[in-house]
A and B are shown apart, each in its own frame.
Chain A
Amino acid sequence: MDSLLLWIGTYFTEETYMFYTKIQGMIWSLADFLLIFFILKIIDLVRANEGKGKIFFRYLFLWSSAVLTPLLILPQTKNGFFLLESIICGIQFSILVYTVMVERKRVFNFTHGMMIRNRRSISGSNPSETLETLM
């Protein structure tokens, strides 16, 4: 273990670190994009259920973060990378927090409605029971 760490300490340089950071940054930003994108799709389902219109601006902001993601290859310094990554993650995080704050009740009502509908279809189950009592 000691010799392995010594080897890493000698050869895992700042340049190597930056190289892998850029690759990892793009991979996790893509995962974040997919995550937020499908959360918005879920919200669209919920909104459609209430006859509300589709989300537009949040998708727009999300796609702007997707456009910025390939630029993660450009920064030459840790600070530059961190700044760009913070902008990308900041946009995605803001969309997520805003969505949860604004749509939370709507999603809960939607899910609750589905729970009741599905429990009614189970013979002998009481729709007013919580899942905990059932499990």
Chain B
Amino acid sequence: MAVFWTLAEGIILVFMRWGFLFLKKGQERQNGFLISFAILLALLTSLFFWGENAFGKIIDLEKGLHLSAYRWAIWNFFCSLWVILEGVIMIYGFRIYKILKSIFKNEIPKKAKVPVKRTDFAWGIPLLVLFFLLFYSFFECTVLSMIIKHGMDAKNLHNVSLFYIRICGLFWIFFEWVIALLTIKIYVLLKSERGV
């Protein structure tokens, strides 16, 4: 399921990029992105199904708590990844909306003076990815130190990880609603344009 939903989010992201590239460059080709995403998905699938065996050779995953910590770390990673993908989809939504608005409001010549990176939120994606990877790493490091320093047990680990998933859920909801509102704005824009 974790891999399937990552694939589903990835498919939506590919569609969004198609739309964005079409509007910006007049073409939809994104072979590099598709190959990179396929490799990433293959790696994630390997991690999900065979990671336990591979990591078991390096670290001790025999003990119940270690195994629980590992499994929660993987599940939390996938949850973070879904939020990252949703966030990236939101940024592409912003970029598509901004381009459409520029076209329909005849703002292109005026906006030509503004650097492209500032206008199309290009900085947003690396910033978002970095933020969530740091957030995930910070959480996992804190949990590991809690296990080592304070002897956190499996039950506490379980509850803390559930809490982390719900924090991811808050970000997820925020991104989903922004995307929904952007879609409504795009609909209103197209409808008013068509009515002209």
- B19, B155, B187, most chain A CB atoms within 10 A: B187
Chain B window 104-116, contacts with chain A (Cβ cutoff 8 Å), 1 for yes, 0 for no = 1010110110001
Assuming the contacts A5-B160, A118-B106, asked whether A35 and B187 have C-beta atoms less than 8 A apart, the reply is no
* Chain A interface, >50% SS class: helix
B18:A104 contact, CB within 8 angstroms: yes
- B26, B149, B184, B186, most chain A CB atoms within 10 A: B26
Residues of B within 8 Å of A28, CB to CB, are 169, 172-173, 176
A21:B169 contact, CB within 8 angstroms: yes
Chain A window 23-36, contacts with chain B (Cβ cutoff 8 Å), 1 for yes, 0 for no = 01001100110110
A2:B159 contact, CB within 8 angstroms: no
Interface status of A64 (Cβ within 8 A of chain B): no
Interface status of A55 (Cβ within 8 A of chain B): no
Size of the chain B interface, CB-CB below 8 angstroms: 58
**Assembly CA distance A5 to B26 (angstroms):** 50
**Assembly CA distance A55 to B116 (angstroms):** 37
Binds A, one of B30-38, B52-60, B188-196: B188-196
* Chain B interface, >50% SS class: helix
**Assembly CA distance A118 to B109 (angstroms):** 12
Tally of contacts, chain A with chain B, CB under 8 A: 143
Residues of A within 8 Å of B15, CB to CB, are 100, 104
Q: Which of B137-181 contact A (CB under 8 A)?
A: 142-143, 145-146, 149-150, 152, 155-160, 162-163, 165-166, 169-170, 172-173, 176-177, 179-180
- B8, B108, B149, B186, most chain A CB atoms within 10 A: B108
Size of the chain A interface, CB-CB below 8 angstroms: 50
Interface status of B121 (Cβ within 8 A of chain A): no
A122:B108 contact, CB within 8 angstroms: yes
Q: Which of B10-63 contact A (CB under 8 A)?
A: 11-12, 15, 18-19, 22-26, 28
Interface residues of B (CB under 8 A from A): 1, 8, 11-12, 15, 18-19, 22-26, 28, 99-100, 102-104, 106, 108-109, 111-112, 116, 119, 142-143, 145-146, 149-150, 152, 155-160, 162-163, 165-166, 169-170, 172-173, 176-177, 179-180, 183-184, 186-187, 190-191, 193-194
Interface residues of A (CB under 8 A from B): 1-2, 5-6, 8-14, 17, 20-21, 24, 27-28, 31-32, 34-35, 38-39, 41-42, 45, 49, 82, 86, 93, 96-97, 100, 104, 107-108, 111, 114-115, 118-119, 121-122, 124-125, 130-132, 134-135
Given contacts A12-B159, A24-B169, A93-B12, 17 further A-B contacts (CB under 8 A): A6-B156, A9-B146, A9-B159, A14-B158, A24-B172, A31-B176, A38-B184, A38-B187, A42-B190, A45-B187, A97-B11, A115-B103, A125-B108, A131-B26, A131-B108, A135-B24, A135-B102
